[in-house]
Copies of this chain bind each other. A is one copy, B any other.
């Protein structure tokens, strides 16, 4: 039964992928997973004033404006989740931004896009630290 359900889900995932992007399809696995764009750009922000909910809301709104950039294929803005506080888990950041691109060129285009430059200009006074990870899918 489990196998049958997995097969069904895999077929659904593949059908769904066809609506999205060939790069996402290429990055999909054999299981029931949502296909992900190949390049994942994950940014973690630490606020200067972590106790200011206004600052946090401002940063979140700013990050959301980035979803409109043409080469952005997937988008997730987050805050630390209430998962178990293990030693390896860094939950000290305040806001996260996870953007998916088809390739390095898509991310490069995003970096110099006017909407991204505007976001940095208007929000960089809010953060004290930023860490970025760019991960390219392996086959």
Contact pick for A32, options B33, B39, B67, CB 8 Å: B67
- The answer to whether B34 and A132 have CB atoms under 8 Å apart is no
- The answer to whether B34 and A136 have CB atoms under 8 Å apart is no
Contact pick for A21, options B22, B111, B131, CB 8 Å: B22
- The answer to whether B34 and A96 have CB atoms under 8 Å apart is no
How many copies of this chain does one complex carry? 2
- The answer to whether B32 and A136 have CB atoms under 8 Å apart is no
Contacting residues of chain A (66-86) with chain B, CB-CB under 8 angstroms: 67-68, 70, 72-84, 86
B residues less than 8 Å from A22 (CB atoms): 18-19, 21, 23
CB distance from A80 to the nearest CB of B (A): 7
- The answer to whether A89 and B137 have CB atoms under 8 Å apart is no
- The answer to whether B74 and A36 have CB atoms under 8 Å apart is yes
B residues less than 8 Å from A136 (CB atoms): 78-82
CB distance from A124 to the nearest CB of B (A): 11
Bound state CA distance, A21 and B20, in angstroms?
9
Closest chain B residue, CB of each to CB of A85: B134
Contacting residues of chain A (84-136) with chain B, CB-CB under 8 angstroms: 84, 86, 88-91, 93, 96, 98-100, 104, 107-108, 111, 130-136
